[in-house]
Structure 1
Amino acid sequence: MKKLPIGISSLEKLIGENCYYVDKTYFVEKLVNSGSQFFLSRPRRFGKSLLVDTIKQAFLGNRELFKGLYLENNWDWKKKYPVIHIDFGGRNVKDVVLLKKWIMEQLKEHFNFYDVKLEEEEDYGFLFRKLILKLYQEYKNPVVVLVDEYDKPILDNIDDTEKAIEIREVLKDFYSVLKASDQYLKLVFLTGVSRFSKVSIFSGLNQLQDITLSPAFATICGYTQSELETVFVDRLEGVDLEKLRYWYNGYSWLGDKVYNPFDVLLFLNEKIFRPYWFETGTPTFLVKLLKQKKYYLPQVEELEVGEELLSNLDIDYIYPENLLFQAGYLTIKETNQILGRWYYKLTYPNFEVKTSFNNAFLTHLTPPPLKDATELQIIKAIDKNDLEKLKDTLYSFFASIPNDWYRKNDLDSYEGFYASVVYALFTGSGLNTRSEDTTNLEKIDLTVLYQDRAYIIEFKVVEKDSEGKALSQIKEKRYYEKYTDSCREINLIGIEFSREKRNVVYFDYETLKR
């Protein structure tokens, strides 16, 4: 039986016997035919390093690694090019001193590898420039420069603005060498998670082509449904493909939707549905930022943003929407063009990300010991269709949060706190939720779908005592009409929270049946 390549970082290891490989090598030819300087942003563990290594091996002329792949018979193997491969993904950088040292170490490794004489110790910028010139002169061919995880040193320090800016300036200086060396370069390809603005980090690289949202390169990383079912056909026997799609598919960069390769490989190895990708890195900084901004969590599910917000990230101006998209917690659902400007609707890519992210958010927003037990009680209440139990569960949950915890976390002025917590409880438990659910009149705060039942929930925050308006609004706006044809039973639930009492002060419901 074939084995799956888990944790592969080298193309040479991947193309061996008993391994699977989704052939993306035609993108290498497409890159070369499309320009000379490229930038690609994709979330972590999406195959960026493997892509960089594939490009590297092609330009080095290692044809034997491409046997049976597209590039084997669609590449000029007679030409070989010197390749400079800089990888910032292998260690955490805590200051500019360590960053400069790491850059110098990687450059010196290239001098040794190509047996190029290093005459004296120099500044990393001069050394980079000299390496490019020496390779160009000795190999009589232009140089290929590949930079993997170009932004990781900045992201390692994103919660320390001053230090992140210092590191950014070092990287900006380092990358500026590429502009000055343009005539000696065959190809420049940079990858990373974040799309920092060209002004802030790539000033001077005027020809740098950002292919992050290029439809032609939308599936350059990740597995399409067709690739999954073709390449892994012998491992998919007995697998519920619809459930697999629901859990892991859904990432979109203006082309076919794709799976995260890390999820697919681990699932096919274990045959257990788990949040494999999410478990490899908790979005602590992002969750803290949402909390700091007092973000209304339900709106994350249906965000509408402009192209400027989606395209550029700057340390001086960090927006949650930008980070959510670039880090892979949101993806593009729809596009729209108005007066020549593009607008994007974002949503969670799949079940894994939606549930896991809400669990992470809830862990940071409420005392952790309460979360798991409350989610279990919510699931039981919905499963049994016991709305009284649901009411008691929510009341007990908020009653268990100590008053000093509210003061410590400055939640008194957080207008969306209660709705965000309830939304995260329902969503993090794995229930099928729809926030800001659009009807022909207005938006439902939260819809929960379970079996053949719908739960239409409206939230209100009052100063002290119940005003009894939440349920009335559902009926007046006739929110339930959206589900009268598709659901056998519709439960209308109005919930009101008191700022003063910090708990549920109103929970009323009505049931409609066909």
Structure 2
Amino acid sequence: MKKLPIGISSLEKLRRENCYYVDKTHFVEKLVNKGNQFFLSRPRRFGKSLFVDTLKQAFLGNKQLFEGLYLENNWDWSVKYPVIHIDFGGGLVKDAQDLKEWIISQLLEHVMLYNLSIESSKNLRILFRSIILKLYQEYKNPVVVLVDEYDKPILDNIEDTEKAIEIREVLKDFYSVLKASDQYLKFVFLTGVSRFSKVSIFSGLNQLNDITLDTEFATICGYTQSELETVFKDRLEGVNLEKLKYWYNGYNWLGEKVYNPFDVLLFFDKKDFRPYWFETGTPTFLVKLFYKYKYYLPSLENLEADEGILSNLDVDNVKVENILFQTGYLTIKDTYELGDEIYYLLSYPNFEVRTSFNKAFLNYIERYGLSYRPESKIYRSIQENNLDKLKETLYSFFASIPNDWYRRNDLDSYEGFYASVVYALFTGSGLNTKAEDTTNIGKIDLTVFYQDRAYIIEFKVVEKESEGKALNQIKEKKYYEKYIGICKEIYLVGIEFSKEKRNIVYFEYEKVESV
């Protein structure tokens, strides 16, 4: 077996150490034939850095690295280009001054690498421009500029709006050189997680062709099902392919769905289903936003968004939906048109993200003194079909939340909070759930599936005491009819929360016959 390229983003190292490689080099030729300045957004650990290095090696003319790959016989190896490669992937930018020093340091490395005679400058824009001109003059060929993780300095400071704006302005000034130097450039390629709006950092980069949602490049990063089964064929013996797909596949950028490469490689190494990608970066900032704006968590199952929300992020006007999509916690499930506008239906890409994100939502409560985590008890209650035990578990959980938590987060009037937490508990426990489950006469708040059973759950928030409206609504609207004949057993569960008592005051259930 070949070596798994875990953490390797260098094409030279990957080929030298005889690692598995999913050949994406046909995208190099396709990009060059399509234009000369591009931008690509993909989530972290999705193979962006490896693709950037692949571009670099192709333009440098290192043909030996492409033996047996598509580009070997589909590239003009007689021409070599000077390459400026800036990488913001490593390290943590503290402030604008730190960023300036880091950029200048990387630019000076190119001065040394190419042995250029350039006067040192503390002005990064002047230095960048001088290096481009000097390389163009000395190599008699236009210059290639590759920038990896262009937005990481901003994202590192996204919670401090003032500092993030200062950093944005430094990057804006730096990237403005690209537009002014167009006549000296052969090819420009920027990658990142987020696409900041044209009125901010992209105002000086409006010449870039954004291929993030370009169908032609939907699989430029990530592994397709075919690539997985072909390249890693010798690693698949004994692997449950359906379970692998359920856990890690599902990312979609208007083309074929792909796997997260990081997950796949770690799974083959450990042979154990775990949230490998999610564990490398818990979205604490996003969870804070959820509580701050009283976001209704179940809506993430089917979130509608327009193209503007998906493609533009403003530092001083952060939208939860925007960050969720661009960072990979949501992906495109479907598209539809309304008039001349295109709209997108977003949802979790797979089981890993769905379960882990909801656990992260619960973890945030735990930071304020909550020691009772009931996910395993909830799972066992459903597994054993013991709804009395489920009632006790949910009641104990809400009773354990400190009063100080509500005071700090102003959640007394947030009716969706209770439904969001219950949804997170069921989904975070690993159960198969469906939020806002549509029927012909309304929406079920939450449906939970286990084997051949379905649990139809309705939430209500009442002022003080139990009213019994939740269960009555399920019965009156006959939500359960959707699953008659599909599930052998159907249970109707009504749950009501008291704003005053901050806990469950009504929990009743009934079983209906499924003929």
Q: TM-score w.r.t. structure 2 length?
A: 0.98
Report deviation, 1:17.
4.7
Distance 1:219 1:363, change over 3 A: same
Aligned residue number for residue 273 of structure 1: 273
2:54 counterpart of 1:54:
yes
Alignment of 1:354-373 (within 5 A): 354-366=354-366, 373=373
Distance between the aligned counterparts of 1:19 and 1:457, measured in 2? 49
1:34 aligns with 2:37: no
Aligned to 1:237: 237
Residue 451 of structure 1 corresponds to: 451
Residue 197 (structure 1) aligned with residue 193 (structure 2): no
1:26-425 correspondence runs (5 A): 26-366=26-366, 373-425=373-425
Conserved? CA contact 1:362–1:371, under 8 Å: no
Q: CA deviation at 1:441?
A: 1.4
Distance 1:367 1:380, change over 3 A: farther
Classify the secondary structure of the residue corresponding to 1:128: helix
Q: Which amino acid aligns with 2:465?
A: D
After TM superposition, the structure 1 stretch with the greater mean CA deviation from structure 2, 112-121 or 57-66, is: 112-121
Q: Offset of 1:405 from its aligned partner?
A: 2.6
Distance in 2 of aligned mates of 1:125 and 1:335: 41
2:16, 2:383 → 1: CA distance? 48
Note the alpha carbon deviations across 1:269-301, whole angstroms, 9 max, x for none. 111000000000110111101110110101111
CA offset at residue 366 of structure 1? 4.7
Please state how far the C-alpha of 1:367 moved relative to its aligned partner: 5.5
Other structure's SS at 1:416 match? helix
Rounded to whole Å, the distance in 2 between the matches of 1:197 and 1:507 is: 47
Q: Is the 8 A contact 1:253 1:331 kept in 2?
A: yes
Instruction: Tell me which residue corresponds to 2:479.
Output: 479
SS at match of 2:204: coil
CA separation in 2, counterparts of 1:134 and 1:367? 54
Q: Which amino acid aligns with 1:181?
A: S
When the two structures are aligned, how many residues end up with a matched partner? Answer: 514
Structure 1 counterpart of 2:119, which letter? E
* Alignment correspondent of 1:489: 489
Q: Which one-letter code corresponds to 1:481 in the other structure?
A: E
Task: Write the letter of the residue equivalent to 1:479.
Answer: Y
- 1:118 offset after TM fit, Å? 2.3
Following superposition, the deviation at residue 145 of structure 1 comes to: 0.3
Distance 1:445 1:354 in 2: 17
Structure 2 residue identity aligned to 1:205? L
Which residue of the partner structure matches residue 467 of structure 1? 467
Structure 1 contact 462–497 (Cα < 8 Å) conserved: yes
Deviation, structure 1 residue 198: 2.0
CA–CA distance in structure 2, aligned partners of residues 347 and 205 of structure 1: 30
CA–CA distance in structure 2, aligned partners of residues 230 and 441 of structure 1:
46
CA apart distance, 1:369: 7.0
1: CA distance, partners of 2:478 / 2:371: 33
Question: 2-side partners of 1:508 and 1:202: how far apart?
Answer: 55
- Whether the 8 Å contact between 1:363 and 1:371 is mirrored in structure 2 is no
AA partner of residue 504 (structure 1): I
Contact 2:470 2:495 in 1 (8 A): yes
Contact 1:249 1:258 in 2 (8 A): yes
Quick check: 1:510 aligned with 2:510?
Answer: yes
Unaligned 5+ segments in structure 1 are none
- Give the Å deviation of 1:407: 1.3
The unaligned stretches of length 5 or more in structure 2 are none
- Percent identical pairs in the alignment equals 76
* CA deviation profile, 1:416-436 (whole Å, cap 9, x unmatched): 111011000000000001101
The CA deviation at 1:316 is 1.5
Q: CA deviation at 1:212?
A: 0.3
- RMSD (CA atoms): 1.1
TM-superposed deviation, 1:476? 1.2
Distance in 2, Cα, partners of 1:424 & 1:395: 15
**Residues in 2 aligned to 1:446 and 1:37: alpha-carbon distance in whole angstroms:** 46
Distance 1:315 1:480 in 2: 45
Q: Is the 8 A contact 2:85 2:147 kept in 1?
A: yes
- Match for residue 438 of structure 1? 438
Other structure's SS at 1:202 match: helix
In 1, the alpha carbon distance for the partners of 2:237 and 2:25 equals 27
The alpha-carbon deviation at position 63 of structure 1 amounts to 0.3
Instruction: Render the CA deviation track for 1:461-483: whole Å, top value 9, x for unaligned.
Output: 01111111001111111111111
Cα distance between partner residues in 1 of 2:42 and 2:7 = 17
- Counterpart amino acid of 2:319? Y
Native 8 Å contact 1:371 1:425 kept in 2? no
Q: Partners in 1 of 2:300 and 2:330 — Cα distance?
A: 8
Instruction: Please state whether the residue corresponding to 2:382 is helix, strand or coil.
Output: helix
CA distance in 2, matches of 1:65, 1:371: 53
SS at match of 1:31: helix
In the other structure, the counterpart of 1:20 is 20
Deviations 1:123-152 (A, max 9, x none): 100000000000000000000000000000
> Following the alignment from structure 1 to structure 2, what is the Cα–Cα distance between the partners of residues 120 and 51?
31
